[in-house]
Amino acid sequence: MVLRFYNTLTRKKEEFRPQSGNEVRMYSCGPTVYDYAHIGNFRAYVATDIIRRYLKYRGFKLKHIMNITDVDDKTIRNSREQGMPLSKYTEKYTKIFFEDLDTLNIERVERYPKATDHINEMVDIVGALLRKGYAYKGKDAIYFSISKFPSYGELAHLEKAQLKAGARVKNDEYDKEHAHDFALWKLWDKDDGDVFWETSIGKGRPGWHIECSAMSMKYLGPTLDIHTGGVDLIFPHHQNEIAQSEGATGKQFVRYWMHNEHLMVDGQKMSKSRGNFYTLRDLLKGKGGPDKPGNTAKPSGHDPMAIRYLLLASHYRQKLNMTGEALKSAKQAVDRLREFVSNARDGEDGEGIEGIAKKAKEGFEKAMDDDLNTPEALSVVFDFVREANKAGAGSRALEQMMDFDKVLGLRLSETGEWKKPEDAPEEIRKLILDREERRKQKDWEGADKIRDKLGGMGIILEDTEDGPRWKKTT
């Protein structure tokens, strides 16, 4: 079977082959660590996680980089407002970002370089662009001159005429030759405070676009196999990354550009500036969520794996509307998979399970090979659940489901395994021990009440010769 990805550059699905052997050099635009990321941002990171996991599933070796933007207008502004050094401020939100990745079971990529650790590499690229005549010095910044780069606009499929029209309208506002010329290096001004670097190209700080070119090429070389990001980054960010990188190296920068569509709320892109966003923590703690506009308190939080499911169950190139209804059905879907796993752990494979599993595996791979068609792949998984349940699901069926979950990442392996009381979360352990105590005192009614209470929490108990054991059912 052939793995095909939709390439934004060519607007076509193309067979994917890395440039060298089995190794995939992949770069994903990462967060600007000035605040909590919102759940829309996590749609982008989950989409990237699915690409990553599926490439691994298909046997590729990954060299995957995601940058951390820890210097820009917003990080400088916020850290100054809070009277904190920039590095301390961004450290806090970087830590929060990693915690959120773990909550959503988003795999760590091979490396997370920080922009402030790569100033020399950025200065080198800007120096090369100045020497080659692609860049010029303005009063407030060093700019990239887009008119020197003939294919500018190609990724975004912008016509030269559109770019020219922009130039006429906007030209006066800037100290640059063309409205779409962009800053490679921003010369220091007083709003930057103590955030600057003394370099051969002047005292200042990098523009945002150059950060990605410098960090991607440092770790992956001049040509990347895959570059990902949300569709809002196609123009100007990714277009500018191409211009800078190819201007400096003379080589093709990226072979496959992959962009995820947006997470929407009421027909609009979820974004900080619109204020229509939820952070992951809002949804987990029950502080609001799409089913409770206005962030009013909600009695119970959402299940992180239901949030992950919602984000991955739509095709990454389709807009996805965030609603309370959608979250609810995502939760039901995940619970069905958990129930299947839980039953299969104790069940016996029926006749024909091998064929059912094989057919499902083929269907799953066919869907994923076709530009990561997750909705189709999930429908194969649910057909598998139905058919395996009918035939009888045991260890072979379980093994197949765990194989799917390498790609889906819904933590299904944590479901339904019998565990000892000491491995339970605090609250559950206390209830189990309390029940033991009551049984010792022959308070059967009290013991049963606790068993029921645990049942309501998705925990079932079994009494064995070695004492009670428990497992999750949902």
Binding flags for ligand AMP, 59-98, as an x/- string (CB under 6 A): ----------------------------------------
According to the binding rule CB under 6 A, does residue 3 interact with ligand AMP? no
According to the binding rule CB under 5 A, does residue 65 interact with Zn ion? no
Binding flags for Zn ion, 157-196, as an x/- string (CB under 5 A): ----------------------------------------
- In the complex, the smallest distance separating the C-beta of residue 59 from ligand AMP, rounded to whole angstroms, is 27
By beta-carbon proximity to ligand AMP, the closer residue of 233 and 410 is 233
3-class secondary structure per residue, the chain: CCCEEEECCCCEEEECCCCECCEEEEEECCCECCCCCEHHHHHHHHHHHHHHHHHHHCCCEEEEEECEECCCHHHHHHHHHCCCCHHHHHHHHHHHHHHHHHHCCCCCCCECCEHHHCHHHHHHHHHHHHHCCCEEECCCEEEECHHHCCCCCCCCCCCHHHHHHHHHHHHHHCCCCCCCCEEEEEECCHHHCCCCEEECCEEEEECHHHHHHHHHHHHHCCCEEEEEEEHHHHHHHHHHHHHHHHHHHCCCCEEEEEEECCEEECCEECCCCCCCCCEHHHHHHCECCCCCCCCCECCCCCCHHHHHHHHHHCCCCCCEECCHHHHHHHHHHHHHHHHHHHHHHHCCCCCCHHHHHHHHHHHHHHHHHECCCHHHHHHHHHHHHHHHHHHCCCHHHHHHHHHHHHHHCCCHHHCCCCECHHHCCHHHHHHHHHHHHHHHCCCHHHHHHHHHHHHHCCEEEEEECCEEEEEECC
According to the binding rule CB under 6 A, does residue 236 interact with ligand AMP? no
| Interatomic CA distance for residues 308 and 106, integer angstroms | 9
Query: Which of the ranges 1-9, 28-36, 242-250, 389-397 carries the binding residues for ligand AMP, by CB under 6 A?
Result: 28-36
| Interatomic CA distance for residues 408 and 333, integer angstroms | 13
Query: Which of the ranges 79-87, 128-136, 263-271, 438-446 carries the binding residues for ligand AMP, by CB under 6 A?
Result: 263-271
Q: Is the peptide bond before 85 cis (omega within 30 degrees of 0)?
A: no
According to the binding rule CB under 6 A, does residue 269 interact with ligand AMP? yes
| Interatomic CA distance for residues 309 and 299, integer angstroms | 22
According to the binding rule CB under 5 A, does residue 106 interact with Zn ion? no
Count residues contacting Zn ion (CB under 5 A)?
A: 2
Query: Which of the ranges 38-46, 92-100, 290-298, 372-380 carries the binding residues for ligand AMP, by CB under 6 A?
Result: 38-46
By beta-carbon proximity to ligand AMP, the closer residue of 31 and 304 is 31
According to the binding rule CB under 6 A, does residue 233 interact with ligand AMP? yes
By beta-carbon proximity to Zn ion, the closer residue of 240 and 343 is 240
- In the complex, the smallest distance separating the C-beta of residue 47 from ligand AMP, rounded to whole angstroms, is 8
Scanning residues 18 to 37, which ones bind Zn ion (CB under 5 A)?
Answer: 29
According to the binding rule CB under 6 A, does residue 43 interact with ligand AMP? yes
Query: Which of the ranges 52-60, 248-256, 260-268, 353-361 carries the binding residues for ligand AMP, by CB under 6 A?
Result: 260-268
Which listed option, ligand AMP, Zn ion, none, makes contact with residue 212 (CB within 5 to 8 Å by class)? Zn ion
By beta-carbon proximity to ligand AMP, the closer residue of 259 and 302 is 259
According to the binding rule CB under 6 A, does residue 254 interact with ligand AMP? no
Two tokens at 189? 């001004």
By beta-carbon proximity to ligand AMP, the closer residue of 20 and 295 is 295
Query: Which of the ranges 14-22, 104-112, 264-272, 376-384 carries the binding residues for ligand AMP, by CB under 6 A?
Result: 264-272
Cα–Cα distances (Å) from 28 to 218, 265, 402, 435, in that order, read 14, 24, 27, 50
By beta-carbon proximity to ligand AMP, the closer residue of 199 and 228 is 228
Which listed option, Zn ion, ligand AMP, none, makes contact with residue 40 (CB within 5 to 8 Å by class)? ligand AMP
According to the binding rule CB under 6 A, does residue 40 interact with ligand AMP? yes
Q: Which residue is nearest to ligand AMP (CB)?
A: 230
According to the binding rule CB under 6 A, does residue 31 interact with ligand AMP? yes
- Residues 9, 24, 26, 29: which binds ligand AMP (CB under 6 A)? 29
According to the binding rule CB under 6 A, does residue 344 interact with ligand AMP? no
- Residues 101, 122, 129, 212: which binds Zn ion (CB under 5 A)? 212
Cα–Cα distances (Å) from 420 to 55, 427, 453, 462, in that order, read 36, 14, 18, 10
- The residues binding ligand AMP (CB under 6 A) are 29, 31-32, 40-41, 43-44, 229-230, 232-233, 260, 262-263, 269-271
- The residues binding Zn ion (CB under 5 A) are 29, 212
